[in-house]
Structure 1
Amino acid sequence: MLRLAALFAVLLPQVAAANTCDTVRFENTSFTTCEVSAGEDLRLFHSGPSGPLGSFSAVNDLLAAEGKTLGFAMNAGMYHPDRAPVGLFIDQGRTESDIVTAEGPGNFGLLPNGVFCIGKRFSVVESRTFAARPPACTFATQSGPMLVMDGALHPRLIPDSDSTYIRNGVGVSADGRRAVFAISNDRVNFHRFARFFRDVLGLRDALYFDGKISRLYAPAIRRNDLGFAMGPMVGTVVKKD
């Protein structure tokens, strides 16, 4: 399936943003990364007054009431046909969708999967560990599979797999003070994507968000990927000029 985001990317005027986005090459594959520090206003988004938001522009419309806008954003987890989150979703401390710990079909069910938690710091936690000892999360989204766990790659990732897509995910630093969001600009398999987080970004825990529909909004680098309506999204919130 072609990545519509790549076909319909919109170039935006370059603007300043609190987070830093950059493009990195690894093994002949291009990746764009956006780094966020603890203390920045990083949020998850899913629904507004009329239901699922579905797009970066809808999030910006919602934030306009606060006099704010997105600094950067990307899709942040898998979703059902009605765009409801698959697995855990916590929005401003409220659990909107419960955690799923059973093995199942598809990438989400390729255990171990995990949860990205936004609290005073950031964490990526294996789902069953999260369920047994839930940390305090203002926002959280579950996805899968895990890419990197305490420095080890997910055991079922295949080095020479020919299953390649545009993919995106998040990794966190050991001290929880940094979260780095990455999207491949070229088709990549899981194994290379996981090694990018571990070997290039130096992150010991990383979680896969999705593929095929992966998209990035980053006005600081004049990028706005368009495509199908999304489910959960993650992004920084900054003051609107």
Structure 2
Amino acid sequence: MKRSLALAASLTLAMCACSQEPAGESVVKIALDGSEIEETPAPTPSAAAGPSACETVTFEDVALTHCVADPAQHRIDMANLGADKQPFGSLGAFAGSVDPATIAFAINGGMYGDDLKAIGYYVQNGERLGELNRGDGTGNFYMKPNGVFFGTGGSWRVLGSNTFFETVGDRPEFGTQSGPLLLIDGKLHPEIQDDGPSKAIRNAVGVDASGKAHFVISGAPVSFGQLARFFRDQLKVSNALYLDGAVSSLWDPATERLDKGRVGPIIVVTKREKAAAE
């Protein structure tokens, strides 16, 4: 995964202002140079797909899309390679390989190489396809501690990579490694500023005390600190893991949102009742 991180002098902490946006309102992504980033047209509800698990909110003047996976209603899997053993490469390609009625939403997430194949810790359908990476390097992934989002059945967690290595003995059904952790036991990562100058379209995941997984993708450039505070202050999440930046993409069949872009590993949230009916 190619990422860059520039954390310089701390800026003043912005006061929290979180409110729900009107349903169906489009979110325009703006690049740092002021140009618009190409995105799927404004989403419209799809009765066939049922209600959306995602909503648009505003936090500290930044539009965010917040999607919730509930263990009682959903299961989580990973997807990277198609039937031809080659990476899907985009959410559109993945969407074309499955029945949209079974999908609550899908979002990119996890370390990958130039070939879009997963690297770092990666488990799909109970098969470990990538080893845990605790080495040193440059870029966001190596900003220690990084972490793993993983789970089996309806039990999902986010843990630091070292904690995962030391405490998790059984292989989970799914797992993906990324970094850095935005929140560690309710506190911002020690190298993340309250609102640093590095801002980009970003997405992340965290699991709350009730076991629900919260996925957030920004509609405009956001700092690491802003994203971390949304998880801490609004979602009441203790551990949150940064998934990616710039290429962050979401597929929400219920609203017919299908972001374009080149992606590696994909986190797939499936409807339990649809999966059981197949």
For normalisation by structure 1, the TM-score amounts to 0.89
Alpha-carbon separation, structure 2, partners of 1:87 and 1:17: 35
Q: Which residue of 1 aligns with 2:9?
A: none
Q: Is 2:100 the partner of 1:74? A: no
Shift of 1:18: 6.4
The aligned runs of 1:37-52 (5 Å cut-off) are 37-39=70-72, 40-50=74-84, 51-52=86-87
| Structure 1 unaligned regions, length at least 5 | none
| Structure 2 unaligned regions, length at least 5 | 1-29
Alpha-carbon separation, structure 1, partners of 2:52 and 2:175: 20
Shift of 1:103: 2.6
RMSD: 2.3
Q: Identify the structure with bigger relative contact order (alpha carbons < 8 Å, sequence gap 6+).
A: 1
Q: What is the letter of the counterpart of residue 55 of structure 2?
A: D
Q: Is the 8 A contact 1:68 1:237 kept in 2?
A: no
Q: What is the letter of the counterpart of residue 206 of structure 1?
A: A
Q: Structure 1 residues 5, 109: closer, same or farther in 2, change over 3 A?
A: farther
Q: Is the 8 A contact 1:60 1:70 kept in 2?
A: no
Q: Which residue of 1 aligns with 2:117?
A: 84
Alpha-carbon separation, structure 2, partners of 1:30 and 1:207: 19
Alpha-carbon separation, structure 2, partners of 1:218 and 1:85: 23
For normalisation by structure 2, the TM-score amounts to 0.78
Alpha-carbon separation, structure 2, partners of 1:5 and 1:74: 21
Alpha-carbon separation, structure 2, partners of 1:106 and 1:180: 24
Number of equivalent positions: 236
Q: Structure 1 residues 5, 178: closer, same or farther in 2, change over 3 A?
A: farther
Q: Which residue of 2 aligns with 1:160?
A: 195
- The alignment-based identity, stated in percent, is 36
Per-residue CA deviations over 1:90-144 (Å, capped at 9, x if unaligned) read: 0011100101012321000000000001213110010011112225410000000
Q: Which residue of 2 aligns with 1:217?
A: 251
Per-residue CA deviations over 1:154-182 (Å, capped at 9, x if unaligned) read: 0100123111000001010124x200100
The aligned runs of 1:191-210 (5 Å cut-off) are 191-210=225-244
Match of 2:89 among 32, 54, 67: 54
The aligned runs of 1:1-241 (5 Å cut-off) are 2=31, 6-11=37-42, 13-15=44-46, 16-17=49-50, 20-39=53-72, 40-50=74-84, 51-64=86-99, 69-120=102-153, 121-134=155-168, 135-175=170-210, 177-227=211-261, 229-238=262-271, 239=274
